[in-house]
């Protein structure tokens, strides 16, 4: 039997396992998936928890629910990959040999990377919403908060789900308006980028949207440290912003296991060919999702589109053929903007997010870079799609390659 | 893209004034771009510029964090050398493309 091992059973790894299970001859291939945790989180749902829209039980399911029968499942931390010997060493002492390896170990938040962040105000006045613990703690804080300065800070790139902080401030705006205390809350959006978003057209549209909502955008702020006593954030060029509640995207990094394996860049992301998704170091190692250092969003939609490309390339590699498929960096993100509306962006390595309609040119039903009710329904429907279609590796009626149809050049 | 004369040399620059071809760069060009940004270049500046150029040649994507960990200069020092634009201004002066943030 030939062996295929997947490291990481999050969105990317689980999705790929289900696709491979359908595609590969199971008399020929033995499939193994490894993860250290048993719970699968619907991470896009974390954003809604601080506002009481979702509860913890809405975003968790056992990982076992999504593994097909006859697959080896191992719950253990990973020590390292020995690429030269086609081996994975697990912390529990097991050694896994592989013919092909897929790394899908994702990205994690590292609050300890920023001075003063994980200190005495952590989960008292300082929160992340990228972990279930942070999101739940923030919900408790918001419930009886009487107002003040709410500061959303993005201190480093890249980070998971680049639109989430924009959605967060929009949802906060709507939440405090509904509670009749919007006038008691100053919301600011502090970012190391030069605007609300990286790409120019979307940055302008989203920046205007935030301004309309009276959310102050403070660009080019590169966070040095958090002053817990004075309750302010301080940049490297010594600008200071006071906060009553600080919500932050902690520095994101790939798994330490990647560093131990000698496969990563300085942020522990696996050096990966951005078109073929193959490791730059080993021909029989491929990378899917946030774990890769490819220059696109760290988001489930990217992993979903990339999974189709990976499947084609993996099948070719297994048969010794040249890799046929090229990933274009396609990302597709719903942006929840509060008050029952949402926006949608669709982009890739080359084309920045543009206005238009999606997925059908001229029809939609979704509006690109537009704030509509229909886009909000798309986001709400997505949780069902995630659990029932996406993770199970079933097809969605959206092409892996981005299309210009329905988009307007600016 | 347009052609601009900097320090007596014709170079191709982007809409934002970044050199299109890093091989057209020389130290006089660097000094003149720096002057427009009100920066007087010292040896320390050139040490950073050469690091940026070397990493760009090697195909690496630069971030403030990476420069801060390079051993050439720390982040605070980088801000002191290139106030208001630690990576944007230094890249412009180093003759390499405008830093893009990939998200």
Whether A2-106+255-318 shares its CATH topology with A111-252 is answered yes
Instruction: Answer whether residue B59 shows pLDDT above 90.
Output: no
Give A270 to chain B, closest Cα distance, Å: 14
Give B64 to chain A, closest Cα distance, Å: 9
- The whole-number average pLDDT for the span B52-73 is 90
Q: Specify the pLDDT at position B101.
A: 62
Contact B103 A156 (CB under 8 A): no
Residue A294's closest chain B neighbor by CA?
B102
Alpha-carbon dihedral angle through residues A123, A129, A135, A139, given to the nearest 10 degrees: 80
Q: Show which of residues 78-97 on chain B sit within 8 Å of chain A, judged by CB atoms.
A: 78-79, 83-84, 86, 88
Q: Is residue B99 part of a domain?
A: no
Instruction: Answer whether residue B103 shows pLDDT above 90.
Output: no
> What does the pLDDT look like over A357-391, one tens digit per residue?
998 888 888 999 999 998 888 888 889 999 999 99
Contact A237 B79 (CB under 8 A): yes
Residue A156 sits at the chain B interface (C-beta within 8 Å): yes
Which overall architecture, per CATH, does domain A2-106+255-318 show? 3-Layer(bba) Sandwich (3.50)
Q: How far apart are CA A116 and CA A112, in angstroms?
A: 8
Q: Which residue has the higher pLDDT, B102 or A322?
A: A322
- The whole-number average pLDDT for the span A8-24 is 97
Q: Is residue B60 part of a domain?
A: yes
Q: Is residue B103 part of a domain?
A: no
- Domain coordinates in residue numbering, chain A: 2-106+255-318, 111-252, 331-390
ipTM over 0.85: no
Band (pLDDT 50/70/90 cuts) for residue B102 is low
Residue A351 sits at the chain B interface (C-beta within 8 Å): no
Residue B58 sits at the chain A interface (C-beta within 8 Å): no
Contacts A–B by Cβ distance under 8 A: 43
Residue B66 sits at the chain A interface (C-beta within 8 Å): yes
Residue A225's closest chain B neighbor by CA?
B76
Q: Specify the pLDDT at position A263.
A: 97
- The whole-number average pLDDT for the span B86-100 is 92
Q: Specify the pLDDT at position A161.
A: 93
Contact B84 A159 (CB under 8 A): no
Token pair for residue A318? 């297994």
**pLDDT averaged over every residue in chain A:** 95
Place of tokens 């009710």: A373
Band (pLDDT 50/70/90 cuts) for residue A226 is very high
Q: Which residues of B are catalytic?
A: 102
The domain containing residue B19 runs over which residues? Answer: 2-94
Place of tokens 């990339």: A306
Instruction: Answer whether residue A198 shows pLDDT above 80.
Output: no
- The whole-number average pLDDT for the span A27-46 is 97
Q: Show which of residues 229-248 on chain A sit within 8 Å of chain B, judged by CB atoms.
A: 236-237
Judged by average pLDDT, the poorest of A61-65, A183-187, A346-350 is A346-350
Residue A107 sits at the chain B interface (C-beta within 8 Å): no
Instruction: Answer whether residue A213 shows pLDDT above 90.
Output: yes
Instruction: Answer whether residue B34 shows pLDDT above 90.
Output: yes
- Which among A157, A296, A298 has the least Cβ separation from residue B63? A157
Give B25 to chain A, closest Cα distance, Å: 26
**Neighbouring residues of A112: CB distance < 8 A, sequence distance ≥ 6:** A118
Q: Show which of residues 3-42 on chain B sit within 8 Å of chain A, judged by CB atoms.
A: none
Residue B100 sits at the chain A interface (C-beta within 8 Å): yes
Residue B65 sits at the chain A interface (C-beta within 8 Å): yes
Give whole-number Cα distances, A333 to A172, A275, B85, in Å.
19, 21, 30
> What does the pLDDT look like over A313-353, one tens digit per residue?
999 999 999 999 999 999 999 899 999 999 999 999 989 89
**CB-based contacts of B27-32 (< 8 A; 24+ apart in sequence):** B29/B95, B30/B93, B30/B94, B30/B95, B31/B7, B32/B6, B32/B7
Q: How far apart are CA A252 and CA A248, in angstroms?
A: 11
- Which among B79, B100, B103 has the least Cβ separation from residue A162? B103
User: In terms of C-beta density within 10 A (0-12 exposed, 13-18 middle, 19 or more buried), how is residue A363 classed?
Assistant: exposed
Domain total for chain B?
1
Q: Measured between beta carbons, which residues in chain B are less than 8 angstroms from residue A159? A: 103
Q: Is residue B84 part of a domain?
A: yes
Residue B102's closest chain A neighbor by CA?
A295
Q: Which fold has domain A111-252?
A: FAD/NAD(P)-binding domain (3.50.50)
Q: How far apart are CA B19 and CA A131, in angstroms?
A: 42
Which residues make beta-bridge pairs with A227?
A232
- The whole-number average pLDDT for the span A308-312 is 97
SS3 for chain A, per residue?
A: CEEEEEECCCHHHHHHHHHHHHHCCCCCEEEEEEECCCEEECHHHHHHHHHCCCCHHHCEEEHHHHCCCCCEEEECCEEEEEHHHCEEEECCCCEEECCEEEECCCEEECHHHCECCCCCCECCCEECCCCHHHHHHHHHHHHCCCCEEEEEEECCCCCECCCHHHHHHHHHHHHHHHCCCHHHEEEEEEECCCCCCCCHHHHHHHHHHHHHCCEEEECCCCEEEEECCCCEEEECCCCEEECCEEEECCCEEECHHHHHCCCECCCCCECECCCCCEECCCCCEEECHHHECCCCCECHHHHHHHHHHHHHHHHHHHCCCCCCCCCCCCEEEEEEEECCEEEEEEECCCCCCCCEEEEECCCEEEEECCCEHHHHHHHHHHHHHHHHHHCCCCCCCCCCCCCCCCECCC
Instruction: Answer whether residue B85 shows pLDDT above 60.
Output: yes
Q: Measured between beta carbons, which residues in chain A are less than 8 angstroms from residue B100? A: 198, 295
């Amino acid at each position: 039997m030939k062996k295929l091992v997947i490291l990481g059973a999050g969105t990317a790894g689980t999705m790929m396992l289900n696709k491979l299970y359908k595609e590969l001859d199971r008399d020929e291939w033995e499939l193994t998936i490894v993860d250290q945790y048993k719970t699968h989180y619907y991470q896009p749902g974390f954003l809604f928890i601080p506002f009481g829209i979702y509860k913890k039980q809405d975003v968790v399911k056992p990982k076992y629910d999504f593994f097909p029968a006859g697959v080896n499942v191992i719950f253990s931390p990973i020590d390292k990959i020995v690429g030269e010997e086609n081996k994975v060493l697990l912390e529990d002492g097991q050694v896994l040999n592989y013919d092909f390896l897929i790394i899908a170990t994702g990205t994690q938040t590292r609050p300890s990377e920023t001075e003063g962040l994980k200190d005495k105000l952590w989960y008292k006045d300082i929160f992340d919403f990228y972990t279930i613990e942070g999101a739940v703690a923030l919900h408790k804080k918001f419930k009886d908060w009487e107002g003040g300065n709410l500061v959303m800070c993005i201190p480093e790139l890249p980070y998971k789900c680049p639109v989430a902080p924009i959605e967060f401030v929009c949802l906060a705006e709507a939440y405090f308006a509904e509670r009749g205390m919007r006038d008691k809350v100053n919301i600011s959006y502090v970012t190391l980028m030069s605007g609300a978003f990286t790409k120019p057209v979307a940055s302008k549209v989203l920046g205007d949207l935030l301004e309309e909502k009276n959310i102050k955008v403070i660009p080019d702020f590169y966070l040095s440290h958090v002053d817990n006593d004075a309750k302010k954030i301080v940049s490297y060029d010594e600008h200071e912003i006071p906060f009553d509640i600080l919500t932050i995207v902690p520095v994101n990094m790939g798994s330490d296991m990647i560093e131990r394996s000698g496969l990563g860049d300085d942020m522990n992301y696996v050096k990966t060919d951005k078109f073929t998704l193959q490791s730059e170091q080993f021909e029989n190692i491929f990378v899917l999702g946030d774990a890769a250092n490819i220059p696109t969003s760290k988001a489930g939609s990217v992993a979903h589109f990339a999974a189709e490309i990976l499947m084609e390339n993996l099948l070719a590699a297994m048969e010794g053929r040249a890799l046929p498929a090229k990933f274009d960096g396609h990302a597709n993100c719903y942006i929840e903007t509060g008050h029952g509306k949402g926006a949608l962006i669709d982009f890739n390595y080359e084309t920045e997010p543009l206005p238009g309609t999606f997925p059908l040119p001229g029809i939609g039903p979704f509006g690109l870079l537009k704030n509509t009710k229909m886009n909000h329904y798309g986001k709400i429907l997505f949780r069902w799609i995630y659990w029932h279609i996406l993770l199970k590796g079933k097809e969605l009626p959206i092409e892996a390659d981005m299309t210009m149809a329905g988009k307007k050049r600016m | 893209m347009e052609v601009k004369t900097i320090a007596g040399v014709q170079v191709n620059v982007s809409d934002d004034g970044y050199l299109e071809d890093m091989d057209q760069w020389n130290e006089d060009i660097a000094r003149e771009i720096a002057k427009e940004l009100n920066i007087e270049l010292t040896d320390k500046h050139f040490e950073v510029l050469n690091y940026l150029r070397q990493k760009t040649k090697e195909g690496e994507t630069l971030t403030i964090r990476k420069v801060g960990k390079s051993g050439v200069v720390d982040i605070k020092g980088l801000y002191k050398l290139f106030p208001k634009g630690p990576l944007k201004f230094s890249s412009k002066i180093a003759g390499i493309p405008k830093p893009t943030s990939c998200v």
